[in-house]
Amino acid sequence: MIARKASEELRERLETFAGAILVGPGDIGKSTLARQVADAWPAGAVHLDLGRIADRRRLSDPGAFFRAQAPHLVVVDQVHKMPEVLAVLKDVIEDNRSHGQRTGEFLLISSVSLNRLPGAEEHLARRISVMEIFAVAPDEAAEAGIELQQLWLRGGFPDSLTANSDLASVQWRDCLVDTYMDRDVPHLAPRVDPDVIRRLWTMLAYSSGDLLNSSRLSENLGVSPPTVSRHIGLLEDLGLVRLVEPWPADLPRRLTKSPRVYVRDTGLLHSLVEIGTTHDLLGHPSVGSSFRSLVVESLITAAPPSWKPYFFRTASGTQIDLVFARGNTVQVGVQIGLTGEPATGTGFHRACDALGISRRFVVRPDSGTDEDHPQDSTSVGLTDLVRRWRDLDR
């Protein structure tokens, strides 16, 4: 069992709000995390899985059912299968509040973002805390005795990461990819051809971290650029890709305006581009973009909520792979490389100087020791940097 950093945060949210909703890709560990927290809940818990017909029947009158469970914590898994129950929660929460119960009432679980649940934001606003659950992070894997190389190759889905062999991990991920195409895409977008989504996802895997070029993608797929944007939005809502926007700095030079698109889990990225072993990975043309994808996702998910991620790039090529801003000020600049060598040749330090960034990191795989380089940059392994990231300005 891999201990997740999110467990303590989830308990704190349930102690503060009427409930919480865990959002993240299917099979990422949401249900396991919810059960761990719910089983230790002082008032006890009631579990429903709306993927089961029998549990859906129990909600023929959801308001009456939910009211009857107080003061227990009600765990509703796969709430995206029956989103209409969300409309009932507002009144139930208000009724419970009138009887003295103000926190720890509901723990909901969804494999799609709230954008795909009709009326979710309206019904849950100020009552249910939204908490995204991510893949296993490098520091979580390290504490479980799993090396970064294995996490990088297999990705952060727990069953893939802890499989008995690389081959078993590949087979598990291939089945997961098929499940997304055969079940989740038709459920959320019944008029969309899953084969088109799969081809788009594969294209994004081969170019993970590149600037979004909707025109090129649309030509290759035979669909319009607006359709490409909608399809990417679907992959975003499933938690499978991430768009990182450029830093909107007001500098006297032409800046890139297109976002970068990353496949969020490197294990799924490797399945899509047919990488099965470490040997395959290290000799593959996508090895650099794969490692950048791992770093970007790991640091974004470990950063405090008030720190917003961007990248910085000018038309002349001066760039920073990842910057974090709080408010209108960029706080940290990160350059990513497999060797950890200083990135002066890429314009990294010139860009940091232009943005006034004093904290600069060159992040590499977990090997060697941290080194200070000229111009105040530090070469550091990813796992150690993730540990530092969790404590940023908290």
Contacts of 388 (CB under 8 A, 6+ apart): 380
pLDDT confidence of residue 256: 65
CA distance 142 to 100: 43
Residue linked to tokens 């469970």: 69
pLDDT confidence of residue 343: 46
pLDDT confidence of residue 178: 96
CB contact at 8 A, 238 and 180: yes
Q: Residue 193 corresponds to which tokens in the numbers above?
A: 């051809």
pLDDT confidence of residue 248: 83
Residue 109: strand pairing partners: 22
pLDDT confidence of residue 268: 98
At 129, give phi and psi (nearest 5°).
-85, 130
Q: Residue 339 corresponds to which tokens in the numbers above?
A: 């060797």
CA distance 379 to 344: 13
* Secondary element (H or E) of residue 45: strand 45-49
pTM: 0.92
SS3 call for 109? strand
Q: What is the mean pLDDT of each run of 10 residues along the chain (394 residues)?
A: 92 95 94 95 96 94 94 96 90 90 95 86 84 96 97 98 97 97 92 96 97 95 95 96 87 71 98 96 95 97 92 82 92 84 63 88 78 64 92 65
CA distance 133 to 298: 12
CB contact at 8 A, 124 and 130: yes
At 348, give phi and psi (nearest 5°).
-55, -50
pLDDT confidence of residue 288: 94
